[in-house]
Structure 1
Amino acid sequence: MAASATLHCLTGCAIGEILGMVIGTALGLHNVATIVLAVALAFVFGYALSMRGVLRAGVGMKQAFKVALAADTVSIAVMEIVDNGVMVIVPGAMDAGLGNLLFWGALALSFLVAFAVTMPVNKLMIGRGLGHAKAHAYHH
């Protein structure tokens, strides 16, 4: 269950992260602005994916948002700290540009490391009835 929850989180985070990094890099934004954009979009897409399943279960929008917040906030936050941290510490990755293998390689590495760090966090939270365990009741 923890691997599934982490993969679900990674999917939303990756969509937002890639979109934010691509937009920020293409527009020549400062690295900090690019990271802020990527993190914001990761939360938006992460919550949206969680809400989609809860809404399909017949829950209203407000309650679905509350479930998504409870289910994914810690997971997304950990994932974003780790994957952006990797992007920052890989020399030249943030400044490499979209056509450079260094940019895409570092981004792929950042997702692998973020998954590895976030999965035990999700496992611990699920074991305590927190995180993704809050959304499990709405999955069919």
Structure 2
Amino acid sequence: MGASDMDRMEHHTHHAHGEHGEHGHNHGTASASWPMAAQATLHCLTGCAIGEILGMAIGTALAWHNAPTMILAIVLAFVFGYALTMRGVLRAGLGLRSALRVALAADTVSIAVMELVDNGTLLLFPGAMDATLSDALFWLSLALSFAVAFAITTPVNKWMIGRGKGHAVVHQYH
């Protein structure tokens, strides 16, 4: 990260917490609203869903077993989650290396929680891991797993944003 990128990030960080009314301070932490947390979670869910569906489609099409298919889906969920964040911060003028660092800081915990929950839900859902792309069970269990992951990850994101972490890091570039 170049000095100018660091200066710009530091400048934005200082202003992001003091200039926006929705980011008021509360005992040294920024307050986070539920809509803000839900928006951050929806952003993560979008990247995760793209990656997961693509990974499951590839694994199923190649007749892979469940474990490698799930690993591919998780890897792609992280890739697409980070890519969506990087797209926005690159547009805001950050260099590639800085944009990657912002994406890692903004999304890693959120995507990890989301992946743990949604894949855990799929593992617990009877028959979901054996369903194919043409089965309604595949799509229903996937939709349920995303809904459960959204419900559990939103409070995590609210807590992190309230402490100036997670999507609070990237919010300044929007």
TM-score (structure 1 length as normaliser): 0.98
Pairs aligned (count):
139
> What's the counterpart of residue 94 of structure 1?
129
Shift of 1:91: 1.2
Q: After alignment, is 50-59 or 90-99 more displaced?
A: 90-99
2:120 is aligned with 1:119: no
Please list every run of 5 or more consecutive structure 1 residues that lacks an aligned counterpart in the other structure. none
Which AA in structure 1 matches 2:144? L
Structure 1 distance, partners of 2:59, 2:127, is 15
Which AA in structure 1 matches 2:79? V
Shift of 1:99: 0.8
Structure 2 distance, partners of 1:24, 1:129, is 37
> What's the counterpart of residue 27 of structure 2?
none
**In structure 1, which of residues 110, 123, 132 is the aligned counterpart of residue 167 of structure 2?**
132
Which AA in structure 2 matches 1:119? T
Q: Of the two, which has the highest radius of gyration?
A: 2
2:48 is aligned with 1:13: yes
> What's the counterpart of residue 9 of structure 2?
none
Shift of 1:55: 0.3
Which AA in structure 1 matches 2:108? T
Shift of 1:137: 1.0
Structure 1 distance, partners of 2:107, 2:71, is 18
**In structure 2, which of residues 95, 99, 103 is the aligned counterpart of residue 60 of structure 1?**
95
Q: How many percent identity over aligned positions? A: 73
Shift of 1:26: 1.7
TM-score (structure 2 length as normaliser): 0.79
Deviations 1:75-129 (A, max 9, x none): 0000001111111111111111111111110000000000000000000000000
> What's the counterpart of residue 38 of structure 2?
3
Q: After alignment, is 91-100 or 45-54 more displaced?
A: 91-100
- Aligned residue for 2:72, secondary structure, equals helix
**CA-atom RMSD in angstroms:** 0.6
Shift of 1:27: 1.3
Shift of 1:39: 0.3
Please list every run of 5 or more consecutive structure 2 residues that lacks an aligned counterpart in the other structure. 1-35
> What's the counterpart of residue 73 of structure 1?
108
Structure 1 distance, partners of 2:136, 2:81, is 26
Q: After alignment, is 71-80 or 25-34 more displaced?
A: 25-34
Shift of 1:30: 1.1
Structure 1 distance, partners of 2:126, 2:135, is 13
Q: After alignment, is 119-128 or 24-33 more displaced?
A: 24-33
